Amino acid sequence: MPDPAPRCAVFDLDGTLVDSAADIHAALDRLMARRRLPGFARAEVVGMIGDGVRVLLERACTARGIALDEESFDHFMADYEANAAVLTQPFAGIPELLGALGDAGWRLAVCTNKPEAAARLLLSGLGLDRHFSALGGGDSFPMRKPDPGHLRATLTAAGAAPEQAVMIGDHANDMLAARGAGVRAIFAGWGYGPQSMAGNAPVAPDVAALRSLLG
């Protein structure tokens, strides 16, 4: 009997598909310099990633004792989108994995809290966009991760059913969205989140291990 829907792998973006912390860090430090404030250590920036740009900027501004205003948000977005793929690269093995999954008949999608336009620009700049049939950004739908509706809407856009899907991500938001949507999850152990965020999901320490877990 044929599968009720094609197999679908849904990937988080920052910290899962791509190592983007350097470009996020650089844009954040440029924003702080514009406000005549000190920048951040890389570990601080990594700890702010995962809940979308606005939350990242709110965390950064709070750490510097200021409030986030819309002018600063708009400036950061324009600066980051223009420089999103300067230092950012796919994690080792990711392009090969995406190609192999596509060749094996998998449908691929991205579910990220990064704004959709920035995510599309980044994937295009890295030549990864051709692999994906759908992208659910942080502003694509009324909800975002960890709300399972974000993942469900991304799956609908990809034409896949939850029971045939797997969510791969490096943050608790990915694991919670998958659990709420009835989707199997695999934690990307090479990413930015501590492995304690994996919960009960299996952990792939590297992309080769993920490939084995996906079968």
**Identity of residue 161:** A
**Identity of residue 120:** R
Residues 41-69 pLDDT 10s: 999 999 999 999 999 999 999 999 999 99
Residues 66-111 pLDDT 10s: 999 999 999 999 999 999 999 999 999 999 999 999 999 999 999 9
In this structure, are residues 138 and 114 in contact, taking their beta carbons and an 8 Å threshold?
yes
Average pLDDT over residues 107-127: 96
Residue ranges of domains in the chain: 8-19+88-214, 21-82
Domain 8-19+88-214: which CATH number of 3.40.50.1000, 3.10.20.310, 3.30.465.10, 3.60.20.10 = 3.40.50.1000
Residue 192, Cβ neighbours under 10 Å: how many?
22
Catalytic residues: 12
pLDDT value, residue 6: 61
φ/ψ of residue 60, rounded to 5? -65, -45
pLDDT value, residue 214: 95
SS3 43: helix
pLDDT value, residue 215: 85
Confidence of residue 2 (pLDDT cuts 50, 70, 90): very low
**Whose structure tokens read 């899907």?**
165
> 3 pLDDT exceeds 70?
no
What is the CATH number assigned to the segment(s) 21-82? 1.10.150.240
Q: pTM to 2 decimals?
A: 0.94
- Strand 203-204's sheet: what is its strand order? 134-136, 107-111, 8-11, 165-169, 184-188, 203-204
